[in-house]
Structure 1
Amino acid sequence: MLNLEDIEAAARRIAPHIHRTPVLKSQSLNEKLGKEIYFKAEHLQKTGSFKVRGALNAALQLQGPKGLIAVSSGNHAQGVAYAARTLGLPALVVMPQDASPTKKAATRAYGARVFDQGVTVENREAIAQGLARETGYALIHPFDDPRVMAGQGTLALELLAQVEAFDAVLVAVGGGGLIAGVATALKALRPEIEVIGVEPEGAHDAQQSLAAGRRVALSQAPRTVADAVRTLVVGEQTFPVMQRLVGRILVVPDAVTLQAQRLILERLKQVVEPTAALALAPALMDYPLPQRLAVVLCGGNWLP
């Protein structure tokens, strides 16, 4: 199972290729919400998202790959495209036909070929696996891979070095790769910190899964402004980590996510995608939260 040593090794491996993203604060936002909030600015990461961490960590451990292939709604796509460019390899990315045009264009800009014809959230993994067999390219899963999870966890090591004290961290949850990596690092080094996941209403498969004690899949792709967390079910490998280390999963309506996104723009002067604002949204609701919060701003690939 994923451990701290895996994450520390990943941090050393990917360090030459990524940014050490800053932590941002807003006094006016803190006063408005009555909290002390530290924003880990992964929207300022290479490719505009934390996803490049996991993609790079996985790609850099491959032995002589012909190319890289990924399935993604957008941010993992760009991470794998960047990893392929770093290694001098071709990249093929399977993206849903209705995925963000901005994210498709950015993926192509990193040199990847986008395959989206007839692709949906429901069939994308099967299509990617078929293309991987055809091309011989190495498939890098967006979340259900310990190498990817370890890469995502590296941001938590940075956060601990940047912020002296906080009581909980809020993390948007899709397939669970980010929260699994973050929770593994934090609980190994600071077990008193609560790890809290956040999901949109109607896309709360992680919350349902933790409550049921087994993975619960959605019957169809959820409709939500948080397009980066439209997975149908949490990962087979991420779920046990979440069961052990994640304190709770909170659910928020899209209207509050958009309100949080506006607040981040107004008070922090930062452009983030709705999925990044999702992590802040519980602080705008009646959920009981500790005073000192870290919020992972997971991505900034968004245009109004």
Structure 2
Amino acid sequence: MVGLDEIRMAAARIAPMIRRTPLRVSRGLTDMAGGPVWLKCEHHQETGAFKLRGASNAAAGLGRVAGVTTASTGNHGRALAHAARALGIPAVICMSRLVPANKIAAIEALGAEARITGASQDEAFDEARRLVREEGFALVPPFDDAAVIAGQGTLGLEILEDLPEAAAIAIPLSGGGLLAGVAAAARALRPDIRIIGISMERGAAMAASLAAGHPVDVEELETLADSLGGGIGLENRLTFAMCRDLMDDLILLEEAEIAAGIRWLAREEGETVEGAAAVGAAAVLAGRLDARAGPLVLLLSGGNIDPALHAAILKGER
């Protein structure tokens, strides 16, 4: 398990490398949820998503390497490319054909190679492992890594520093690095706080693995919450157990519900977010999540949505 000490050390290490993102109340969602709803606006982060925290913490701990690599659905790759450029080392980001073009372009704009390989996150990971094995690259995993988890956990510290009375945190759930880190920090500081994971119904690997009692393979399907796609790894070392032990509830959403969350946040809150970041608001709108037990924090994890897709969702075409 990753603990509070590691998360606090990560916070000190990455402070010069990231933004402390705002936490603000949502009046509209508060009215619906029966209690205060707060938005942690991590989509305002330097690279548009929370992934910069974990990637920066992991990359800062590397010694002399030929380069860095990872498999990514987009946001972690962009974060690692950003960190690698700051460190002056090459980066190769391996991605499947399902990754949106705007996320690929953002990675290439940072000077990294975006290597498209296979039809799933797992297949992209095979290429990243080959680079480690044959070319001497250092692997920075997108979620199942202690340094990455500790970096993501700094969000939990910020939330409780800004809102000590928070009763629950709703966290987008994919491979589990974000939920594991935030939950570890929050539970260490507030043992009674509720941790709620939210994902999509289409290809939610962590949800299927928790239901099975062990990591399982799940077909990766196209979804508006593309950042939540991909497997958790059959040899998962950390995030499966941490999510199993630290998460109180799990909500799975339909595509129409995710689209409604994106639209609400754009029209009512003025926030442009990707599908993964909209799942908390979507759960409130769908009546699946409330704040009657006390202040609820929704973690808006990223804003790197394709502009054409965002426009189509706002028009009700998706």
Q: TM-score range by the shorter chain?
A: over 0.9
With 247-256 and 22-31 compared, the bigger mean Cα shift is at: 22-31
Aligned to 1:281: 282
Change (3 A) 1:213 1:88: same
Contact 2:117 2:127 in 1 (8 A): no
**In 2: Cα distance, 1:26 partner to 1:249 partner:** 22
The 10-residue stretch of structure 1 (284-293 or 133-142) with the greater mean CA deviation from structure 2: 284-293
2:200 corresponding residue in structure 1:
200
Residue number in structure 1 paired with 2:315:
none
Contact 1:29/1:267 (<8 A) preserved: no
Residue of structure 2 equivalent to 1:95: 95
Tell me the residue number matched to 1:135: 135
Q: TM-score, normalised by structure 1?
A: 0.95
Q: Identify the residue that residue 10 of structure 2 maps to in structure 1.
A: 10
Contact 1:26 1:267 in 2 (8 A): no
Task: Give per-residue Cα distances to partners, 1:253-293, cap 9 Å, x unaligned.
Answer: 11111101111111210111111001222212233533321
Amino acid of the structure 1 residue aligned with 2:254: P
Change (3 A) 1:245 1:98: closer
Identity %: 38
Q: Partner of 1:265 in structure 2?
A: 266
Query: Displacement of 1:57 after TM fit?
Result: 0.5
Secondary structure of 2:237's aligned partner: coil
- How far has the Cα of 1:119 moved from its partner? 5.3
- 1:97 aligns to what SS in structure 2? coil
Q: Counterparts in 2 of 1:104-253, with a 5 A limit?
A: 104-118=104-118, 120-218=120-218, 220-233=219-232, 235-253=236-254
Q: 1:67 to 1:213 in 2, by over 3 A?
A: same
8 Å Cα contact 1:68/1:138 also seen in 2: yes
Q: Which runs of 5+ in 2 are unaligned?
A: 311-318
Distance 1:229 1:151 in 2: 18
Give the counterpart letter for 1:90 in structure 2. P
Corresponding residue SS for 1:279: helix
Taking the aligned partners of 2:212 and 2:95, their CA distance within structure 1 comes to 30
SS at match of 1:160: helix
Per-residue Cα deviation, 1:70-103 (whole angstroms, up to 9, x for no partner): 1101000101001101111111111112311110
The CA distance in 1 between the partners of 2:208 and 2:94, in whole Å, is 28
Runs of 5+ unmatched residues, structure 1 = none
**2:53 is aligned with what amino acid?**
R
Q: In the TM superposition, what is the alpha-carbon distance from 1:109 to its structure 2 partner? A: 1.0
5 Å-filtered alignment, 1:31-42, equals 31-42=31-42
Query: Which deviates more, 126-135 or 54-63?
Result: 126-135
In the TM superposition, residue 46 of structure 1 has moved relative to its aligned partner by 1.2
- Report 1:45-84 matches (<5 A): 45-84=45-84
Query: Which residue does 1:22 correspond to in 2?
Result: 22
> So what's the TM-score if we normalise by structure 2?
0.91
* 1:256 corresponds to 2:257: yes
Determine whether 1:296 maps to 2:315.
no
Deviation at 1:144, TM superposition (A): 0.7
How far apart are residue 296 of structure 1 and its match?
Answer: 0.6
8 Å contact kept, 1:82–1:110: yes
Moved more, 262-271 or 225-234: 225-234
**1:254, 1:172 → 2: CA distance?**
15
The amino acid that maps onto 2:162 is Q
In structure 2, C-alpha distance between the alignment counterparts of 1:123 and 1:232, rounded to whole Å: 10
- The AA in structure 2 aligned to 1:236 is R
> CA separation in 2, counterparts of 1:279 and 1:287?
10
Aligned residues: 303
Residue 117 of structure 1: CA displacement?
4.5
Q: Say whether the 8 Å CA contact 2:202–2:221 is kept in structure 1.
A: yes
Structure 2 Cα separation of the partners of residues 33 and 256 of structure 1 = 16
Asked if structure 1 preserves the Cα contact closer than 8 Å seen for 2:204 and 2:228, the reply is no
State the Cα deviation string for residues 153-192 of structure 1 (Å, max 9, x = none): 0011011111131211111111000000011000100011
Q: 1:177-230 CA distances to partner (integer Å, 9 max, x unpaired)?
A: 000001100010001110010110132332333333222331x21231100011
- SS of structure 2 residue aligned to 1:48: coil
